[in-house]
A and B are shown apart, each in its own frame.
Chain A
Amino acid sequence: MPETLLNIQKLVFTYKNAEQTLAEVDFAVNVGEFVALVGRNGSGKTTLTRLAMSLIKPASGKITLQGKDTAAMTPADMARSIGYVFQNPDRQIFHDTVAKEVAYGPQQLGFAPEALNQSVAWALRMTGLTELADSFPRLLSRGQKQKVAIASAIAMQPKMLILDEPTSGQDPWDGHNLMELLNSLNQQGITIILVTHDMELIAKYATRVAVLDRGHKVFDGTPAELFSGSRDIAAWGLLPPTAVALSQQLADVNAQNAAELLKKVMLAIKERSDDYA
């Protein structure tokens, strides 16, 4: 039986003077999962993650973290268990060196000096920032700043990392590096919730996808189920990954030559899509 890390039950949230943003959303995340949270702009993705972090409080419903009700917890309490990486890394970088920035969180949580040093060194190593430890964070590239934000989050040794659209506006090179980093953090046991619009990334990395549509959770399952063609995902503002879209349009041809060509086509698609086509 997988251990439930975060359990959100019947969550309702409404911004002032607005329609209901989240309508009785149930969303449970188990230890070790890599969950993608998707949906149109304005579907409630960021709101859900902010509620999970206790940055805002729900109108009704319940959130538990490792079985404990988070209603009475502050964002600082939550930070011991969940690291949050904002879409814009500039919003969370304050110190004048990378190492100080990364050390700030665990210092505030009261890490002992040796544990602090170890944790910072590990976080810098995982994110490939060891050589930039003394650099001024604001002069780094966007991709590097984002790594600083991630290093700052993981230096607190959280069980879970929530990232809000970290690859939007990034070039494919930075995006690829970031996803490989998240994958290796996930391999080390950190649970990941990734808010994203990128279906290619979901297909490649996520073990589970939850879809929000106008405040309702309309799908929760594997990427393969989501992209199987049995659901009208366009109604939720989603496009299937290219390989899936293409393979769904290819005719079924039986003759030998054509079958071989089809095999090659499917192989090329499969190389692109790894294990989900």
Chain B
Amino acid sequence: MAVNFEHFSYAYPNSDVVLDDITLDIPQGSFTVITGPSGAGKTSLALAIAGVVPHYFGGRQGGSVQVGGVIAAQSSMGELAKQVGTVLADYESQLVALTVAEEVAFGLETSGFGRSEIAERVNQALTLVGLTGLEDREVAGLSGGQKQRLAIAAVLVTAPEILVLDEPASALDPEGAAGIYELLYKLNCQGKTVVVVEHQLARVLPYASQVVVLQAGHLQFAGDLGQTLAFMWQQPALRLGVPPLWVIKLTLEEQIGLTLTAWKSEDEAAAELNKLMRTCAEGVAKSA
């Protein structure tokens, strides 16, 4: 299920425009990453997919957002929630139940699923996020990282086509963050459209199919990973957002005048550099 922004603009009540004339396609099955400095409008863009903007917040909007061909503003948050699962940056605010299992079951109970199906789906969702065994634990006693994974499980359990997550790994240590993104990639490979707001692009290098850069409410760039990072590298105000591995790659390209492949990991980078050096060495050996 695709999402299409057509000349979409939005302002919260009594505020200036936070998104200005955004035209953007999020293809079905894509892994789309939204990035940019604070105040860029990233969260507002994510909330517009779920209809939270403008249905919940009110405010003014121009243009449209279509989710699977349906105009979000003409639908309701409840209808949209069947297609779009959202995990907020303030994930704790969306946890409402006493225990872990109750939290995950909540969305199914309110949709009228049967007891055994609920139990089975809760089980699956908790397994996916690695919280099996904590079913009866109180939500309040979980760590920040566990709560973040619980919020994701509570969304996954209703099997939405599109997952929208605002900084899904902000409270997690490096292993936890890697785990969340591996999970999101697995879901993406199963056909879900994944949209994440993420500052640390290093986390999404292996997975992102589209990276969208917002700055002060404007769409600055949207393209594949390589295109977008090359664009950010050229913009002094955006350069700091380029992940370390690509800082090395882009610096090196400038120095040696070669175009390297789009590195998705340190392993890929090392393999290419080692191959390049071997080729150089063989060249030297031949000419000697």
Which B-chain residue is minimally distant from A43 (CB atoms)? B173
Residues in A134-187 with C-beta less than 8 Å from chain B = 141-143, 168-174, 176
Q: Does residue B189 face the partner (Cβ distance < 8 Å to A)?
A: no
Chain A residues within 8 Å of B245, by CB:
242, 246
User: Which B229-288 residues have C-beta < 8 A from chain A?
Assistant: 240-241, 243-245, 247-248, 251-252, 255-256, 266-267, 269-270, 273-274, 276-278, 280-281, 283-285
Q: Is A272 in the interface zone, CB < 8 Å from B?
A: yes
Given A250-B273, A268-B252, do A242 and B202 touch, yes or no (CB 8 Å)?
A: yes
Known interface pairs A264-B256, A268-B252; A41-B270 also in contact (CB < 8 Å):
no
Interface residue A200 (Cβ < 8 Å from any Cβ of B): yes
Give bound CA distance, A170 to B200, whole Å.
9
Asked if A108 is at the interface (CB within 8 A of a chain B CB), the reply is no
Establish whether residues A169 and B171, one from each chain, have CB atoms under 8 Å apart when the complex forms.
yes
Q: Is the CB of B256 within 8 A of A261?
A: yes
B247 close to A40 (CB less than 8 A): no
Question: Which of B175, B240, B277, B278 makes the CB contact (< 8 A) with A172?
Answer: B240
Bound: A163/B196 CA distance, A = 27
Contact with B along A239-275 (1 / 0, CB 8 A): 1011101100111011111101110110111011000
Cβ-neighbour of B280 out of A200, A246, A258 (below 8 A): A258
Cβ of B75 under 8 Å from chain A: no
Task: List A contacts of B267 (CB < 8 A).
Answer: 249
Chain A: which residue is nearest B242 at the CB level? Answer: A172
| A246 CB contact (under 8 Å) in B175, B199, B256, B269 | B269
A75 at the A/B interface (Cβ < 8 Å)?
no
Name the contact of B37 in the complex, choosing from A40, A171, A265, A271 (C-beta under 8 A). Answer: A171
Any B CB within 8 A of the CB of A208: no
- A237 CB contact (under 8 Å) in B174, B202, B270: B174
With an 8 Å Cβ cutoff, the count of chain A residues facing the other chain is 45
Query: Is B274 a contact partner of A250 (Cβ separation < 8 A)?
Result: yes
Report the bound CA distance from A141 to B285 in whole Å.
Answer: 59
Task: Kindly identify, within residues 84 to 134 of chain B, every residue whose CB is under 8 Å from any CB belonging to chain A.
Answer: 89
Contacts of A176 in B (CB 8 A): 240
CB distance from B116 to the nearest CB of A (A): 33
Q: Give Cα A170 to B198, complex, Å.
A: 10
A255's partner among B244, B270, B285 (CB-CB below 8 A) is B285
- The answer to whether B252 and A264 have CB atoms under 8 Å apart is yes
Q: Cβ of B248 and Cβ of A258 under 8 Å apart?
A: no
Asked if B244 contacts A170 (CB within 8 A), the reply is no
Q: Are A239 and B199 in contact (CB under 8 A)?
A: no
- Contact yes or no, B284 A256, CB < 8 A: yes
Nearest residue, chain B, Cβ from A239: B174
> Which residues in B have their C-beta under 8 angstroms from that of A65?
none
Q: Which residues of B contact A268 (CB under 8 A)?
A: 248, 251-252, 255
Q: In the complex, what residues of A have CB within 8 A of residue B143's CB?
A: 41-42
Asked if A217 CB lies within 8 Å of chain B CBs, one says no
Within 8 Å of chain A (Cβ to Cβ): is B170?
A: yes
Q: How far is the CA of A242 from the CA of B244 in the complex (A)?
A: 6
Q: Provide the residues of chain B in CB contact with A243, threshold 8 Å.
A: 244, 248
Residues on the A chain within 8 Å of B171, using CB: 41, 168-169
Using CB atoms, name the residue of chain B closest to A143. Answer: B38
Q: How far, in angstroms, from A40 to B283 measured CA to CA in the complex?
A: 46
Contact residues in B for A224 (Cβ distance below 8 Å)? none
Report yes or no: B248 in contact with A242, Cβ–Cβ below 8 A. yes
Q: When the two chains form their complex, are residues B255 and A269 in contact, meaning their CB atoms are under 8 A apart?
A: no
A132 beta carbon closer than 8 Å to chain B: no
Contact B274 A169 (CB under 8 A): no
Chain A residues with CB below 8 A from B266, complex form: 242, 245-246, 249
B241 touches A173 (CB 8 A): yes
Given the interface contacts A41-B143, A41-B173, A172-B199, does A257 sit within 8 Å of B284 by beta carbon? Answer: yes
CB distance from B255 to the nearest CB of A (A): 5
The smallest C-beta distance from A129 to any residue of chain B, in angstroms, reads 16
CA distance A262 to B285 in the complex (A): 17
- Distance to closest chain A CB from B272 (angstroms): 11
B176 within 8 A of A: yes
> Complex Cα distance A39/B200, Å?
19
Binding site for B on A (CB under 8 A): 39-42, 141-143, 168-174, 176, 197, 199-200, 237-239, 241-243, 245-246, 249-251, 253-258, 260-262, 264-265, 267-269, 271-272
CB-CB nearest 4 A-B residue pairs: A249-B270, A169-B170, A255-B281, A242-B244
- Besides the contacts A171-B38, A242-B245, A265-B277, what 10 more A-B pairs have beta carbons closer than 8 Å? A41-B143, A41-B144, A169-B199, A242-B248, A242-B266, A246-B245, A256-B284, A258-B278, A268-B248, A268-B255
